[in-house]
Chain A
């Protein structure tokens, strides 16, 4: 076994895994109404391909992938499309986004499924199949997997394929459970990925606090040549950059991609989804969600996309008294929701009902004392304190020069800050401002070009008009010239 390369910083956080990882994955409810957002992935929103009143079958495409970085969306169950309209989605803003609302008929009737043999398919057809099956990164980043499985141009060859089963964030156990229960299917999906990328070695990184998952995956990998590597339990070992460094000792350049250094990394649940899509012809219709925290019976549920959070909370016996905040994702990187009447999407790995004790007590923000604790824990090797000053003073250019975009928003700095400064909030704010200004600049440039084109057109039209006028009225023009000549002579 080759050695590990510990990354800088990181934290030993509270774990809170045992609350939800003891019970097997339970099937979720079949709600009467499913609200399926058309933006469940990075990139362009899917184009709706159904209209209100249409009958849909389970697995039927209801949103087409639009553009290269996009993925399809499917009906999670059979029924009738009630509406295609904006509905609140799980997002820190609480804003609405375009959703397809399906009234289910309870029959859960499948569309005809077409499994394919991936060894016989052309790589680009295989990637297209994954794109049309709506396969995206189920670790939470929801980047279309078909794009990541196309190494073209980024590097000569992908030498290492990494499967991410680290699951470093406290409370979340959905990857733990899926590895324990569906290891064979995960490895089968991994084989499809390896077929496309042709890596020299395949590594599976799992934090060592999940011995059952490590055992299950090791057993499933027998005879495949894939290596399961236990990594120390240290947040954020499940972050792509940190896991790649941990396993290979290679660093991704700032704002670069894993492919730039010949590595590609996927979540274990994504590998499972790839297998279901290829070997069973089933698009992504459901995902495992950890429902935990201050609920009666925390557990993992295999949930149809579009199911309301409230229905899952109900399946777990409802809230316990004193829930302070509902969080999607974990306590470190997740975000607070405005209410529980939002649908589960492909990004929903965990629903955490946090009580007051489980949250850091609200403390007044105090001035930075330049203690440097944030620098010690930053796993991205940044200078959080320096970035904080720049973001606070809105000196965005300087923040960018200090590698603001290398920040993975893991929250370690905020966690250790003795002055309780919401550091990550400042970085998010600064990143958003920089993006918004760039977009504004692009828009202004477009307006400038259109204005210029218009000015040129008006000028051209004026000249053409004058030219026509001169042609049409030669006598007067001649007379004028004549007068001038006369005047000149006189």
Chain B
């Protein structure tokens, strides 16, 4: 009887020490789910979801404060990927935040640009190049198409143009009934 109590007590004590050590030694900083969710989001940093960027939205989802269907650039595929990650059923995209659009890129009309730098400050990914009282231009390759530069422009010289399909970005379509095999 005494031996049993002693043995179990010792076992419990040792396990407690081990667990306590592990909790300190292997402590995870922050919520690891945030990184995973952030990796699925399209990183446009557009704020259409109502949060200040993709990371804050990922944090809100991880904390259970936000729905997973608020990201229009991610589209239905993005919602499905989030649902898959979180083990939920994919809800339809919330239309209030906007709809999925074709890929866009911002273009500055260089004739009208007055060099006010407001768009440079608004760009979340530093994709606009220029200096005060000098013409600005968009680095098209870095532009995420977030449209955040449109509103601050005092002369409305920025417009969004669809990214043209090229030989390298062209994709074979999902086969329809009309497709024949040539042989």
Contacts and interface: CB of A to CB of B under 8 A. Distances in A.
A262 to B, nearest CB: 32
A445 B45 CA distance: 12
A95 B183 CA distance: 24
Given A450-B142, A453-B126, A454-B126, A354 B167 contact: no
B142 A444 contact: no
Interface stretch (A191-199, A300-308, A421-429): A421-429
A97 interface: yes
Contacts of A426: 175
Contacts of B45: 447, 451
Contacts of A436: 169, 171
A453 B142 CA distance: 14
Interface stretch (B36-44, B93-101, B149-157): B36-44
Q: Which among B42, B45, B124, B183 has the highest number of chain A CB atoms within 10 Å?
A: B183
A424 B165 contact: no
A91 B166 CA distance: 11
Contact of A429 (B43, B165, B171, B181): B171
Given A95-B166, A97-B167, A422-B175, A360 B43 contact: no
B43 A448 contact: yes
A89 interface: yes
Interface in A40-66: none
Nearest to A352: B182
A429 B174 contact: yes
Nearest to A37: B167
A89 B166 CA distance: 11
Interface stretch (A17-25, A241-249, A329-337, A472-480): A329-337
Interface string A353-365: 0100001101011
Contact of A95 (B41, B125, B144, B167): B167
Nearest to B121: A458
Contacts of B44: 447
A414 interface: yes
Given A39-B167, A433-B171, A331 B183 contact: yes
Contacts of A354: 182
Interface in A420-473: 420, 422, 424-426, 428-429, 432-433, 436, 440, 443-448, 450-451, 453-454
Contacts of A444: 41-43
A327 interface: yes
A13 B177 CA distance: 25
Contact of A93 (B125, B144, B170, B182): B170
Contacts of B179: 422, 425
Size category of the B interface is 20 to 34
A67 interface: no
A443 B38 CA distance: 14
Given A440-B42, A450-B142, A359 B166 contact: no
A354 B180 CA distance: 14
Contacts of B127: 450
Interface string B20-51: 00000000000000000010011111000000
A92 B183 contact: no
Candidate in B41, B42, B167, B177 with the most chain A CB atoms within 10 angstroms: B167
B180 A450 contact: no
Interface string B119-159: 00000111100000000000000101000000000000000
Interface of B: 38, 41-45, 53-55, 124-127, 142, 144, 165-167, 169-175, 177, 179-183
17 contacts: A92-B172, A93-B165, A93-B170, A334-B182, A359-B180, A415-B183, A420-B181, A422-B180, A429-B171, A429-B175, A433-B171, A447-B43, A447-B45, A450-B126, A451-B55, A454-B124, A454-B126
Interface of A: 13, 39, 89, 91-93, 95, 97, 325, 327, 331-332, 334, 336, 354, 359-360, 362, 364-365, 411, 414-415, 420, 422, 424-426, 428-429, 432-433, 436, 440, 443-448, 450-451, 453-454
